[in-house]
Amino acid sequence: MARNAIQFQKGLSEVAFQGNYGTEAQCETVLETMRWPHGFVCPECGAAKGHRLDSRNLYQCASCRRQTSLTAGTIFEHTKLPLSIWFRGMYHLTQSKNGVSAMELMRRTSGSLRSRAQQDKATLSF
């Protein structure tokens, strides 16, 4: 009988997840790298030069001076929750073979994702 490759995926351990995505800074770095793999690109004018305003946690275009956040234009736009909570929720949703209930997700994120979902009246599905 052939071995099902999907069923025997390697997965990501809790220890590895915590090591790679355990802090807010790590999550921001991952999102920044995924959003701008070759460095910042202004969403307004397309200029590839800008800098981070650490005091306001924004990026400013060197050409048109538009300020944009790391999460603007992503699925995390307007979130009040830290990226580390979202990453933890995504981890649990994707690592469980049988899915994760909303109650389980709430327990694993200390209620953060449930509270936000109730505010938005949205369902959690990725």
Nearer to Zn ion, 51 or 107 (CB): 51
CB of residue 51 to Zn ion, shortest distance in Å: 12
Nearer to Zn ion, 70 or 113 (CB): 70
Rounded-to-10 torsion of CA 64, 59, 91, 123? -60
- In the complex, the smallest distance separating the C-beta of residue 34 from Zn ion, rounded to whole angstroms, is 20
CA Rg value for the chain = 18
- Output 74 or 110, the one with its CB closest to Zn ion: 74
d(CA 118, CA 53): 32
Query: In the chain, what's the furthest Cα-to-Cα distance?
Result: 61
* Distance of closest approach, residue 8 Cβ to Zn ion, in angstroms: 47
Question: Minimal distance in Å, beta carbon 65 to Zn ion?
Answer: 7
Compute φ and ψ for 26, nearest 5 degrees: -65, -45
> Phi-psi category of 46—alpha, beta or left, where left has phi over 0 and alpha has psi -120 to 50?
left
Q: Rule CB under 5 A: which residues touch Zn ion?
A: 42, 44-45, 47, 61, 63-64, 66
Task: Pick the closer one to Zn ion by CB: 26 or 60.
Answer: 60
